[in-house]
Structure 1
């Protein structure tokens, strides 16, 4: 998936910033490469030039591409650099390869330092505008997406861009009901906080940004992971970590508890509450307490994590207390935390049809996770996506469901082995996917581990965010005629990555160099085609929620092309094509009468029109009318009860003009709950289609899901057997 620059960098680009108009502008400290950075870069370059599927020599040609990618990563909306900056930096276009090969990274760091300087200047100007206010009767507009625009030719042109951005920030808060004095105070604090974030960017961030400009200039899915990013990648794959079981966020300058994990040390102890602010962290029963006020979130998280059964002490400002409230010290024993929210889960839905009720089981799989370390140690109960889904299928069979829907929307992939094993749960021991390496050698991945766990009607729900392993599974289900694929065309990522541990290669005892995730092969379907670029085309289409030109493999300028190899010998187990005309007719008839579905279609059309227009009005009357219409549609989408509950809890419906960390935690949580409880129009219709396919398989051609009751009813929420939430 597309690499995103570390949150600290892009957080600055999304808002307006910093120092006061009557004080001297303070620039962030100049960053310099650490000693290990140059060695890590050279080691990564050696691996990329020898083992990447699209191996490219690190020369002036590639250097020029890295240069363009670096500027795009730092300043994607052309808001910071001036045209004169770009012209001056052009002398470095063919020097970035030398910087890596000669192990001298001063040139890329100089570019990063200039970016930070320009950001500080733009922020200072933005904050200086707050004293004056704006005229909202003027018919001005703000361009939404500037990535295809040129860099500002002059300082005056750049400042005009920022004036409109600040004006839009002000207008959003004004429309949400705030007066000018409150707006001025809030924006002043926001920009000051953003300035502080800018100052927290360190040399490791700058190095990771440059290295990812290098890797993604070769191919979109090759990335460099610094030591901390590599650790988080491992956690995401195994769905577990050692800590206290608390989700943290940065709020109003403090690291704040956002959520407690059920069964984790923090919740079990009763000593930590949502809203508590962590101001100090100490190791062991008597280690010195480190003051963490003003620290970066990831730095505090690193202090709190540790070894299982070890003790961490926290200095806490209790929720609701002021900044001068007395702190209390608590001690917690770290334990293994299972990330249940990121694991497979299932629900059973009831669908009304002409012959009564049908039950459809929906399994939502966020990723193809696998605890490789536990597996290699011989742990028979190691965590994996296919194992969890197998347990859920047993539960669904006990619930006597008539059909199963695998919801892989926004599942970006993961373990190839898990994709093959998951396919086996529905197809048995069959060839699943072909891979071709850089030498042209083709191998076939055949499921040999899992037996069929579900033989009934099956469908797979995908969207543009379904990528890689998700596409392998969906393509196999489609190629074997095992089930329907419903949704929109998938991402189109048909490449295989492996992770090279740079420290292991360099024989470093401590994690210093980070990891390199590089592309080494390409996927091919059993029919010989590839999911690369084109993705998986669904049998039953639903409205696309995004813009294919902005998201997906086809949005990358250097993506590998679509191609074909010979098909592997495989025997389809079914043929759903004869049923498609009837399913599509029932679907069209049903959604034409489904008000929620039609509202979604209308909203998506309006969003596409706005993206195409690429501007929003800065006139208050125009925006008020747009806001009123948005509020009305959101109430309809959420349903009266959910909307009322969100409002009563202080949640938001229409845009409140606030950034995430500016809202009270209770309001954020209420808004999130309202979104979670919202009517999932696409899922509802996919469940109805599964119900229809059940009828057709049973030879009943006149018993579609009722057009008078298009929203399936959730009747049971299933938990994984034998699992515990910690």
Structure 2
């Protein structure tokens, strides 16, 4: 059998070489050297496969079915826009799809490298073609022609054969130029920009090393098991931390690769990007510049750690990001952010007290905002009784709120990406007598984590505020509060990350492995679906772009048996009247109306499948969108008695308008909850 596989490999190698040789286009640069795998990478491959089959919580085995997943994911990671490889190429590779697992189990990386070498050769041809065309774009391209470019990569078919590649590349260049023109770039600047971008991309190809190919391919393997399992190649500690956190140090954002772009997954609460209100989850970074006026360097197609290095820098310095905002699928913007550290005190839980009047009754509400679930593990392990933690800080805040005689409490977990499991458990315990808070299931057993302290620090009406970016530990807390009927959950569906990852040394590299899943005490998983609120707010974040369900291959929702726990009296009879009252207020709220219209406007653009390559049409569309957005902003400002804006650039980026609109609604829900609790005699002692 192995002899047949080797014959297949060598025949495919011949096909790849012929395909690369036959197509050279109008400009032929020196061919990039072919890359081959190393013996150590072969050994690492076998070790990774063995570890995944042995320890991954999914229990998957690398077989023929998994071969198809690995192959498809690898092709997608190399050519997500489907503008380099053709259907004819895929037909030639077809025999590999179900045999890839045999190569992997024996450490034969030859087929993976041959596919990459073809991809690399086509990339060189594309950049060379575009570069030549870009040097005479003013006479070669017709911007009055009614053409379209497909931007729906998921459903876009591969080009049948190599004859269709150049027309596609020409359209992509036209789109690039149109975007520059929309941003009012002069023709001279456009020519300079195109020359720099495509010359740099062409030069970068020669810097690719075998370790880069190995890293890409092995992650196609690991992420075929689940999207959070990942292989990290040997790096210095600093670069490894970048991979682990996918973090833009200096501005506070979490990144991932999406197609050729660097996509913002979430913002670190209270970090520079979060406080600026200029960057949002779903935005795509396509360029980075240093200082207030430094040259913007193109980052499309670059590795994520290289993009991170461009953005990192000393505290107090500025970095400029060229982005495609999530709300505008084709128009670019350039923003400037001041690098800073995310201060511990700003990450700490914070409180405030507000008065809210509902149905003629005024109540005093405490609001505790928790940006993440933090703990100083070093101090904790040293036995320091005053170690810094979420629960410790919330205890202090609750004691202070008690002295102010609050009538109700809102715990705000919006944009809280999680953190320490211990803190999720301990914080939940402040509101319960005792009992399990979460279940953890590995391949072999189910365990439970308990709150064993019978003391309750707060016994009054509780509202938990969540959104799409509330993840992991936030979902454990919100899920437990909901299952115990301890409070009302308000907001939108949470992130849906219900898995546990462990870091395993593997030779010189590391393997991040999904080893377990979280389950609520009711037996419901937080995976994929997240925690659903009792009362729904408008969904600000697009679920197609954010959250666990947006990840390819995300594990599906499931359930296990509920564990034994003593819940409080059901809150279900209260939810409908609370929801009805909220909906009546929302109908009259110009803030909710404004928010709903903004969401609809963004959705209309995000659903675009194609872009017009007619310059006049694109300028007209962009002008109409900006006019509609400005009118929407000014209508809202008029309702508030504020002066209208002249341009959208006049919007104060520091003002968290959308967040405050929803906070205001949550206050009234909390007030109604207090009223109903008193009327019905609900107690949480």
Give the TM-score normalised by structure 1: 0.68
- SS of 1:432's partner is strand
- SS of 1:153's partner is coil
Shift of 1:47: 1.7
Shift of 1:479: 0.8
Q: What is the aligned partner in structure 2 of residue 622 from structure 1? A: 621
The CA RMSD measured in Å over matched residues stands at 4.7
Q: What is the aligned partner in structure 2 of residue 211 from structure 1? A: 218
Cα distance in 2 for partners of 1:615, 1:297 equals 28
> Which 10-residue stretch deviates more, 609-618 or 573-582?
609-618
Q: Does 1:150 pair with 2:157?
A: yes
Q: Does 1:632 pair with 2:631?
A: yes
Q: What is the aligned partner in structure 2 of residue 283 from structure 1? A: none
> Which 10-residue stretch deviates more, 536-545 or 55-64?
55-64
Cα distance in 1 for partners of 2:87, 2:247 equals 47
* Native 8 Å contact 2:498 2:528 kept in 1: yes
Q: What is the aligned partner in structure 2 of residue 572 from structure 1? A: 567
Cα distance in 2 for partners of 1:63, 1:442 equals 30
Cα distance in 2 for partners of 1:401, 1:27 equals 72
Report 1:75-114 matches (<5 A).
75-114=79-118
Q: What is the aligned partner in structure 2 of residue 121 from structure 1? A: 125
Shift of 1:201: 5.1
Cα distance in 1 for partners of 2:678, 2:236 equals 50
* Native 8 Å contact 1:239 1:343 kept in 2: no
Q: Does 1:181 pair with 2:160?
A: no
Give the TM-score normalised by structure 2: 0.72
Q: What is the aligned partner in structure 2 of residue 601 from structure 1? A: 596
Q: What is the aligned partner in structure 1 of residue 227 from structure 2? A: 220
Shift of 1:478: 0.6
* Native 8 Å contact 1:79 1:151 kept in 2: yes
* Native 8 Å contact 1:421 1:449 kept in 2: no
Pair 1:50–1:202, CA change in 2 (3 A): same
* Native 8 Å contact 1:431 1:570 kept in 2: yes
Q: Does 1:690 pair with 2:670?
A: yes
Residue from 172, 176, 186 that aligns with 2:179: 172
Q: Which runs of 5+ in 1 are unaligned?
A: 1-20, 250-259, 263-272, 279-294, 306-313, 321-335, 504-511, 655-669, 702-726
Q: What is the aligned partner in structure 1 of residue 12 from structure 2? A: none
Shift of 1:482: 1.2
* Native 8 Å contact 1:494 1:530 kept in 2: yes
* Native 8 Å contact 1:635 1:653 kept in 2: no
Residue from 513, 516, 524 that aligns with 2:509: 513
* Native 8 Å contact 2:521 2:563 kept in 1: yes
Shift of 1:30: 5.0
Shift of 1:568: 1.8
Cα distance in 1 for partners of 2:666, 2:368 equals 12
Residue from 517, 537, 545 that aligns with 1:542: 537
Q: What is the aligned partner in structure 2 of residue 70 from structure 1? A: 74
Residues 55-96 of structure 1: CA deviation (Å, up to 9, x unaligned): 233344323321111112222232332222222333433454
Report 1:65-464 matches (<5 A).
65-130=69-134, 131-133=136-138, 134-195=141-202, 202-228=209-235, 296=306, 339-340=343-344, 343-348=347-352, 350=354, 352-354=356-358, 355=360, 358-372=363-377, 375-378=380-383, 380=385, 382-394=387-399, 396-397=401-402, 401-439=406-444, 441-448=445-452, 452-464=456-468
Cα distance in 1 for partners of 2:589, 2:654 equals 20
Shift of 1:197: 5.5
Cα distance in 1 for partners of 2:167, 2:643 equals 41
Cα distance in 2 for partners of 1:695, 1:490 equals 27
- SS of 1:674's partner is coil
Cα distance in 1 for partners of 2:405, 2:146 equals 61
Shift of 1:139: 4.0
Cα distance in 2 for partners of 1:86, 1:297 equals 30
Q: How many residues align?
A: 588
Shift of 1:674: 0.6
> Which 10-residue stretch deviates more, 209-218 or 181-190?
181-190
